Amino acid sequence: MHHDMNKLLSFILISFLFSFSFSQEVLKENLSKRKKTYWDQQKRSLYSVGSYYKNKLNTTTKKHGKWYYYSKKGHLKEKRTYFLDSLHGQSMVYYENDSINEESHYLMGVLDSVYKHWENNGKLTIQGNYFLGQKVGIWRYYFPNGEKQAIEIYTPNKCFIKSMWLNDNKHTQIVKNGNGNVIEFFNSGKIKKKFTVKRGIYNGIYREYTARGKILVIGYYNNGMKDSTWTNYYYSGEQKKISHYKNDTLTGKYFELLEDGNAKVSGEYINGEKDGFWVWNKNNGKKDIEGSFSNGKMHGTWKYWFTSGELSYIANYSNDKKSGKWKYFYRNGKKFKVCHYKEDQKTGLWKTWYENGKLLMQGYYENDKENGVWHNYWQNGKLKNSSVFKNGKLNGRWTSLYPKGNLKLLGSYKKGLKVKKWEEWYKGGQLKEVKNLKVIRKKSKANDVVLKGRTQKISVKHGEFKAYSSRDFQLTEEGKYKKGVKHGTWFAYYPGGRTPTVICNYKNGKLHGVYKTFDRRGRLIQRGDYAKGVKHGKMQFFNSKGKVIKEMNYRYGRRVNMYSNKNFRP
């Protein structure tokens, strides 16, 4: 019954994959015009050619359909098939002599179906099949001269060696019907690997060697599974790693060593999971990290060090999640930050200090978000910023001060956006700017295209606005904004803040109505009419006695006639 159910499930899965594969058909109407890229700036040497996916709205940057890739010498190097940027279908790789190197097939980016590999002499060297990225069934391997090298049989999560041959004059078979002693050689004739195969799987001692004959890996297999102690070596012959296995699973003490013999990593595995106390050291021998695991999860106190050897921070975990108090340090040992976590989320009081020991910032977290009053400080200990948060967003009064304690900025936030009246001061205490803000909804855009039905909240200027000079601290400009743009009558002033240089009118951000400019004595020197941001009507220029010396007429930005006084000097 169980066997029949597995057959049924396999049939359903295969049927689904076939139907899925055929549904991913590359349609002609979804192919853009072929795009070419080149090896050189002069576009003489073709590198690739192919199409991108397109729909009724736009052309994407996702490769779609057949793509061809060429070498600098102009030979076809690769031929791939894509579906929405994923390899899908046949892929071919070629040698420079135009012979086939490799044939593979993909199902939405995953190797699937036939796989073949050839030498550049045309001899087949590998032949097999993939199913959803996994080798399946019989795989055949050949030497470059075409003689058999090995036959392997793949089942889910297992590989069985059925046959193997040596590349010698007699083409000696060393594994027959899944049994034999295997010796692989370097081209120099020295031994590369030694192992025993029984019933198609590794059994007994396994060894790997360097090209100079030194042992590189030694371990033991029991019915195809790693067992007992495994040791890896550096090319110098010094031990590199010592690990222990049981039924192909890491169990017991584990060590990684530096070439000088000092420990790099030490700990213990239980049933494939890290457990107990573990230590990592840097290549200079100084500590890097230490802490404990429980069933493969970080648990308890952990310590981390700078590369120079000083303690960097102390952390706490509970079942792989950040928990409790965390403490960070400067290299000189002084506190940098103290914070708290609960179930991987920020919570409680958080504090940060300058290296001189003065408090830099403090505030509270609740459920991983800032909440309540937060303060930032200057290095002299005086308050820099004071703010209020609610659920991680600025919400309430905002105050900024200069290092000497005088006011810099004062305003309010609501749900993370600036609102109402905001005032800013110069260092000396003189007013710099007064503005009012309002939250509005604005249509969202992506790549300058308005997204239908989507809006976002933004904070914009709305209401009275005044700006003051940095020289004499007098009024330089005043007017009103409406939903982020100038609206109504605006004044610009000469130094001193009393005599206007410009008086103009705006409507929804565009000049609209009378526009006047004045000299420093307050005498009118220019008057014009605007409509929707362009000149529309009379444009007049005056002399010091108030007489018109030049007049022009405009209609929606275009000049239509002109009256000019000969004595006019601009």
* Residue 156 CB-half CA count within 13 A: 2
Q: Mind listing the pLDDT tens digit of every residue in the chain (570 residues)?
A: 444 444 444 444 444 444 444 456 888 889 999 999 999 999 999 999 999 999 888 889 999 999 999 999 999 999 999 999 999 999 999 999 999 999 999 999 999 999 999 999 999 999 999 999 999 999 999 999 999 999 999 998 889 999 999 988 899 999 999 999 999 999 898 999 999 999 999 999 999 999 999 999 999 999 999 999 999 999 999 999 999 999 999 999 999 999 999 999 999 999 999 999 999 999 988 999 999 999 999 999 999 999 999 999 999 999 999 999 999 999 999 999 999 999 999 999 999 999 999 999 999 999 999 999 999 999 999 999 999 999 999 999 999 999 999 999 999 999 999 999 999 999 999 999 999 999 999 887 665 555 666 889 999 999 999 999 999 999 999 999 999 999 999 999 999 999 999 999 999 999 999 999 999 999 999 999 999 999 999 999 999 999 999 999 999 999 997 554 444 343
What are the angstrom distances between the C-alpha of 135 and each of 110, 246, 248? 12, 25, 20
99 domain-assigned: yes
Q: How many CB atoms lie within 10 A of CB 512?
A: 20
DSSP annotation string for 171-232: --EEEBTTBEEEEEE-TTS-EEEEEEEETTEEEEEEEEE-TTS-EEEEEEEETTEEEEEEEE
Q: Is residue 46 part of a domain?
A: yes
Query: What does pTM read for this prediction?
Result: 0.76
Looking at residue 30, the DSSP 8-state letter turns out to be G
Cα separations (Å) of 376 from 347, 361, 363?
18, 4, 9
Give a yes or no: residue 545 inside a domain: no
| 72, part of any domain | yes
Cα 35 to Cα 49: distance, rounded to the nearest angstrom: 5
Query: Residue 71 corresponds to which amino acid?
Result: S
What range defines the domain where residue 96 resides?
A: 28-122
Residue 353 forms part of a structural domain? no
List Cβ neighbours of 6 (8 Å cut-off, separation of 6 or more).
Answer: none
Tell me, yes or no, whether 128 lies in a domain. Answer: no
Instruction: Write out the two tokens for 161.
Output: 């060696």
In a domain, 54, yes or no: yes
In a domain, residue 414? The reply is no
Domain count, the chain: 1
